[in-house]
């Protein structure tokens, strides 16, 4: 019996080749993660490096196939669900204003800086300059969360600010990308479309946790009546996927869906005037017990995929234009995000930790680059510059955070 083809990057690969690729990918992720950890560097950086080595940048052993993209997306969705499950909802609410300020400054400064550098200093046209600025706006929340978790800092006040800001930052990135998409197609601004998207995302963020909590309470009731708690893991997985799908349908990032589902099932989530809907401790423990092994396996696929997506061979390192342009954008990318941490009151270390936590672009910046290239808004040199800036900011953030936060 012939193996079914799996769509990859450009050509189909059979299912058994995919198995081989996943075996190499998972082993390499853990190997490089362990090596980097022994060297005192965050393991996530080892996993991204494994992707760079295995992918198109170096060995070209593993293409970023659609199947790997799906597993990577599933990995980051589960990671954000786990983060939501462990998040302190009251702390998130207390730091909400600061998180909003960090997100706004952290998106506005890099966007404006990237646009000014591209349009005025390097003479790019309007659409190309907007895409270059847009690529610098969003934060790769998956990388930030993993670094803070590995360092055991994910429950501290500054980390909760970063978490809230990174989620909002991702939403802003989606809104900016949607606006640029319309502008690139029609060469005109559609404020009604953008406002409509913002309203849909806000509605989802308000409604989703309550709906998810009620569904989870219903699942708990069914499991108790059936006297079979084994129904919980599969049902919770279905709930996570449904939340991610619903978020996408509302126009927001799918990770927002899984994050709000995690918040709804967390120990600290209480619906006002409806204390009876509070989930039982046994149910929450069963959910945590079920999700953790999946996160351990699938989250590394996401981080390796970030490395696989980078194509450092596309960069002409001998070009003076490349170095001057990318150097200017790297400066804007770093300064814009780091300054966002200084809007929050606290020690210098806390401010710097927030700023550098917002630094990695990862797959989010690459999505902007791919959109810009697909619309012919940016050329190959400009695409290579974005890839290089994404690579530097993604690799730099874990190193700096490790130095700042390691006891």
Residue 188: per-residue pLDDT: 67
Residue 10: per-residue pLDDT: 45
Residue 9: per-residue pLDDT: 46
Residues of the chain whose pLDDT is less than 50?
A: 1-5, 7-11, 271-277
150 CB-near residues (< 8 Å, 6+ apart): 42, 43, 44
Residue 157: per-residue pLDDT: 82
Residue 273: per-residue pLDDT: 38
5-405 fold = Na+/H+ antiporter like fold (1.20.1530)
Q: Could you tell me the two tokens for 125?
A: 């046209």
Tokens 């989010």 appear where? Answer: 364
The rounded distance, in Å, linking the Cα atoms of 66 and 36 is 28
Beta bridge partners of 14: 5
Q: Are 360 and 397 in contact (CB under 8 A)?
A: yes
Taking the model in full, what pTM does it have? 0.73
Residue 54 C-beta-side C-alpha neighbours within 13 Å: 29
The rounded distance, in Å, linking the Cα atoms of 180 and 326 is 22
């Amino acid at each position: 019996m012939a193996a079914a083809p799996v769509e990859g990057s450009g050509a189909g690969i059979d299912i058994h080749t995919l198995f081989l690729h996943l075996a190499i990918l998972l082993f390499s992720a853990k190997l490089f993660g362990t090596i980097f950890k022994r060297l005192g560097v965050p393991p996530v950086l080892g996993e991204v490096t494994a992707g760079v080595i295995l992918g198109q940048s170096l060995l070209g052993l593993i293409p970023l196939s659609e199947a790997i993209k799906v597993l990577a997306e599933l990995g980051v969705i589960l990671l954000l669900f786990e983060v939501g499950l462990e998040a302190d909802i009251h702390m998130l609410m207390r730091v909400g204003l600061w998180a909003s300020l960090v997100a706004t400054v952290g998106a506005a400064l890099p966007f404006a800086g990237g646009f000014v550098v591209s349009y005025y200093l390097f003479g790019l046209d309007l659409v190309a300059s907007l895409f270059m600025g847009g690529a610098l706006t969003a934060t790769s929340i998956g990388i930030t969360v993993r670094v803070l978790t590995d360092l055991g800092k994910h429950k501290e006040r500054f980390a909760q600010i970063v978490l809230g800001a990174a989620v909002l930052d991702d939403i802003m990135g989606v809104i900016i990308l949607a606006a640029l998409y319309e502008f690139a197609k029609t060469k005109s601004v559609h404020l009604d479309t953008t406002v409509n998207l913002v309203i849909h995302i806000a509605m989802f963020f308000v409604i989703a946790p309550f709906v998810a909590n009620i569904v989870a309470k219903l699942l708990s009731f069914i499991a108790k009546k059936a006297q079979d708690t084994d129904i919980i893991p599969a049902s919770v997985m279905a709930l996570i996927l449904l939340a991610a799908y619903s978020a996408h349908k509302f126009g927001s990032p799918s990770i927002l869906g899984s994050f709000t589902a995690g918040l709804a099932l967390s120990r600290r989530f209480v619906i006002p005037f409806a204390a009876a809907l509070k989930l039982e401790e046994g149910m929450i423990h069963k959910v945590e017990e079920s999700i953790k092994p999946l996160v351990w396996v699938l989250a590394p696929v996401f981080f390796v995929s970030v490395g696989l997506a980078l194509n450092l061979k596309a960069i002409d390192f001998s070009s003076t234009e490349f170095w001057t342009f990318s150097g200017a954008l790297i400066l804007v990318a770093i300064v814009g995000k780091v300054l966002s941490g200084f809007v929050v009151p606290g020690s210098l270390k806390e401010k710097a930790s927030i700023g550098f936590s917002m630094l990695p672009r990862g797959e989010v910046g690459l999505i902007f680059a791919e959109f810009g290239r697909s619309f012919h808004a940016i050329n190959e040199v400009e695409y290579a510059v974005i890839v290089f800036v994404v690579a530097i900011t993604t690799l730099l953030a874990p190193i700096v955070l490790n130095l700042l936060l390691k006891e």
